[in-house]
Structure 1
């Protein structure tokens, strides 16, 4: 009887704990909807009220997460006999509680308010091509985030501390090691491509493409891939993103008359994020078991669908007829090989990350990573960012921005205070290759299925191996569960060397 009473007490404690966790989750998702609206639909004049609304939500969330009641519940549950799933929930909430409890509430409020007010300032600075307009706001955000990191752990590198907001388990050392390896091995490959004599059909998408028709095509590609319109929607935003939960996962993209392929790939990319979100277990909504596993894994899903599916020859065998249907006067004579080559062109002079090709993309990430790391560590002054940015682009990509809008103002992330986010783009791309290789081993004739428009086996594999687990596993454990191996960049580097060696007829890479 005593053991039953103890079990009931533990059950009551866990139930009380879960009630608080679900409240936190719902507050977070409410804030997400406010953020989505601010970037997609809110009138420009709404910022003063919206910043206060989001700040109020952040305050309430912080109060619940750091409350004495939450601390007591966590302490009690540490000594209870919990299931593996319950232990995972406690682990994830404990990590967030411990970090948040060290940060003063007034600092949380100020970061939320300043970052909300920063977005229109960033927009104006980009439109006016004037970094000096945004610089004071960026400087304040850097100061606030440094202060946040110092409160969390004054004895560690502040950038390492902030990085763990987006990838808490792989560690910044892994990010540095992977990015260093990508820089070392991709730059020679990019140089070899630029020196090659291969004649790719890179002009296939030249000319102007009506943006309304591009939107119809974006909806076509979402239909083809299996997007659930009952639980999602497509909109436009200055910077494509996706947000939501397993009941409501929305995607955005942007259209330019002379960049139809870029808009299409951005849509496929955001579909990857959304299909991960929609694949999370609905019965676990409100707890970490129903939440995604941080940004490396999230980005692996978007990059897998964008690059390993959307840029594949097999995909274009299926989708090219739909493109021709929408743009018969532009692409009527284009072959599958023409479009495949155009989709995988390695650009000579692209300055914009979200429009970058699959290879040079990672040099964009390296630039941002090195700059934001130095900003947070105090090794770089905000006023010097444009010059350092341009110098690094010249060093790593052989091109130099002519404007701040094409340079250090092109991304929205720093206006959100998201320092430590950028490395996860490359970490996720690396993981995408490792996961896709494992999927190819398990799914017979996956290429043929993609060419036939049968994406269900890949959806099912990803749901089984990644989505359904939510945050039950740490990042490294999830990778081992899905692939049977440790996280590695080997698969990504083998994949790009083989693919681009063949495309550009490079003897040293085939």
Structure 2
């Protein structure tokens, strides 16, 4: 049977994915520097093997023949996802991919070299090259997927999401935030006048911070029989669902930085561990795109771990693991002042939850125009500065390093990725609203350190569904409505203005 052949193919691809994931984690966590060259060769070889297996011409025949077979409901869903993935993997020719990789490598290398000095003019020729190949990629995918070019790029990260749906929601959110942020900052000043920000009682030994992080991960439901926490230069969640590898980084001057990083990655890890094991070798069994994945990490970091109820429960654990002096003399309001801090800034990755979406919307608007050939690469700094002035009252006109050169996404050719970040935050807030309706005592549960109900709801509505539905369908089935900006706006009002 043809579906049986696809099933066997899935098992072989899953085995390679497992090896690739573990080699990648090891490289980031503990590989000695001298192992880099051979590691790169091994990973390139595995990538080639994977692509050859996944794009073999006979797969199209298997998919076609399987449509006439007697398949159950889940096999039919799996077949649709096999088809979607195969179409996306085969719509670019090998010759185009080689040229594209060359343009991306040159662009990213120059970006790493020139970004510290903010040398936009030196970077521009390479950037123009990577934008040209991205536009070509968008056109090729557009034809194969029968989508608008920019939608075809978004499809690579969030299947089913379309600009026609995202743009009006982002426009509504942008209008809200431009008014909200000044009011929230003014409210913050009033609170600080009455209760000044208390400094952290550093130093915080790394081993004690790690013990605190592990204890909270366990309470949140992370399964240490199928995962672990390590240290890396940049926090990430990798590995595979049966062996999730999370990392963080520690600084002895601030325990909140590492803890919040751990909590964010724990959200990713819980999602991976909650995916259905019986479908793990099918594309159907994978996580449903970047926006949903980000929604799970932000659900833990923002909805849970920055709430007053969480910190009522967590403060005794901080004292237990970091020592009584860690937050000596602190009350709940002192911790919340740190975790709810709002500040306008130039750098996306340093932004708080209230200003962060404006950074993303700015990039969404610019990259959409770049892909649609409505904006020339050379004009990006000027447009970036105008939008940054309008949205956050800041200028980058003489500072491209902290403007359009700050992220690796565009230099590496990742166009269509940025919307996922803010979509994830909005989806997390919408899920929380639906969860509160289903579990009215959820905040009291958090205050008591009970997170089982939270996880059960997400397991039923998100994790167990994997890639059975498109991103918009999954959200609507989980929450009962389409993406709605009001839930994120209400979350911010309650947290920062109430």
Give the alignment's TM-score, normalised by structure 1: 0.86
CA contact 1:296–1:425 (8 Å) conserved in 2: yes
- Residue of structure 1 equivalent to 2:77: 88
Once the two structures are superposed, what CA deviation does each residue of 1:444-487 show, in whole Å capped at 9, x if it has no partner? 51111111111111112111111112112222332233223333
CA RMSD in angstroms, aligned pairs only? 3.0
Query: What are the within-5 Å matches in structure 2 for residues 82-121 of structure 1?
Result: 82-111=71-100
Please report how far the alpha carbon of residue 25 of structure 1 lies from its aligned counterpart in structure 2 after TM superposition. Answer: 3.4
Cα distance change, pair 16–408 in 1 and its aligned pair in 2 (3 A): same
Structure 1, 160-169 or 22-31: larger mean CA deviation:
22-31
Which range moves more in the overlay, 79-88 or 50-59?
Answer: 50-59
Counterpart position of 1:181: 172
Distance 2:29 2:107 in 1: 16
More displaced stretch, 297-306 vs 337-346 = 337-346
Residue 188 of structure 2 is aligned to residue 193 of structure 1? no
Partner of 1:7: none
Unaligned segments of structure 2, at least 5 residues: none
- Alpha-carbon distance in 1 for matches of 2:445, 2:101: 46
What's the offset of the Cα at 1:140?
Answer: 3.9
Report the counterpart of residue 4 of structure 2 in structure 1. 15
Give the distance between the partners of 2:204 and 2:462, measured in 1 at CA.
Answer: 38
Shift of 1:18: 1.1
Give 2:318's aligned residue: 323
Q: Please show how residues 466-477 of structure 1 align to structure 2 within 5 Å.
A: 466-477=462-473
Counterpart in 2 of 1:160?
A: 151
* In structure 1, distance between residues paired with 2:234 and 2:483: 29
1:414 match:
410
In structure 2, distance between residues paired with 1:34 and 1:147: 32
Structure 1 SS opposite 2:191: coil
- What is the Cα deviation at residue 315 of structure 1? 0.5
1:394-418: CA deviation from partner (whole Å, max 9, x where unpaired): 3211233585554444434335432
Q: In the TM superposition, what is the alpha-carbon distance from 1:222 to its structure 2 partner?
A: 2.2
1:371 aligns with 366
1:58–1:142 Cα change, 3 Å: farther
Cα distance in 1 for partners of 2:428, 2:401 equals 30
Give the stretch that moved more between structures: 118-127 or 212-221. 118-127
Which residue does the alignment assign to 2:238? Answer: 243
Question: How far apart, CA to CA, are the structure 1 residues paired with 2:407 and 2:12?
Answer: 32
1:243 alignment partner, SS class: strand
- With 158-167 and 302-311 compared, the bigger mean Cα shift is at 158-167
1:436 paired residue among 413, 429, 432:
432
Structure 1 207/124 Cα, relative in aligned 2: closer, same or farther at 3 Å? farther
Give the superposition deviation at 1:199: 1.1
Distance 1:412 1:215 in 2: 29
Is 1:172 aligned to residue 166 of structure 2? no
> How many angstroms apart in 1 are the aligned matches of 2:171 and 2:313?
37
> Structure 1 regions of 5+ residues with no counterpart?
1-11, 503-510
The match for 1:394 among 389, 405, 409 is 389
- CA–CA separation in structure 1 for the residues paired with 2:485 and 2:22: 35
Question: Residue by residue, what CA displacement relative to the aligned partner does 1:345-364 show, whole Å, maximum 9, x if unpaired?
Answer: 221x3333233211111011
Q: Aligned-pair distance for 1:236?
A: 3.9
Q: Which moved more, 1:118-127 or 1:483-492?
A: 118-127
CA contact (8 A) 1:314 1:451 kept: yes
3-state DSSP class of the match of 1:250?
strand
Work out which of the residue numbers 345, 349, 357 in structure 2 matches 1:354.
349
Which digits, 9 at most, give the CA deviation of each residue in 1:193-227, with x for residues without a partner?
Answer: 23345214572345754472544443343233232
Aligned residue for 1:427?
Answer: 423
Mapped contact 1:303–1:428 kept (Cα < 8 A): yes
The separation in 1 between residues aligned to 2:452 and 2:271, in whole angstroms, is 14
Is the contact between residue 226 and residue 455 of structure 1 (CA under 8 Å) also seen in structure 2? Answer: yes
* Residue in structure 2 matched with residue 335 of structure 1 by the alignment: 331
Asked if 1:203 is matched to 2:197, the reply is: yes
Contact 2:219 2:449 in 1 (8 A): yes
Structure 2: distance between partners of 1:41 and 1:367:
37
Q: Is contact 1:51–1:112 with CA below 8 Å preserved after alignment?
A: no
Q: Is the 8 A contact 1:66 1:97 kept in 2?
A: yes
After TM superposition, give the deviation of residue 313 of structure 1 in Å.
0.4
Q: Is the 8 A contact 2:227 2:246 kept in 1?
A: yes
Q: How many angstroms apart in 2 are the aligned matches of 1:152 and 1:486?
A: 26
Asked if structure 1 preserves the Cα contact closer than 8 Å seen for 2:138 and 2:371, the reply is: no
Displacement of 1:375 in angstroms is 3.1
1:331 to partner: Cα distance: 1.9
Structure 2 residue aligned with 1:313: 308
The CA deviation at 1:324 is 3.3
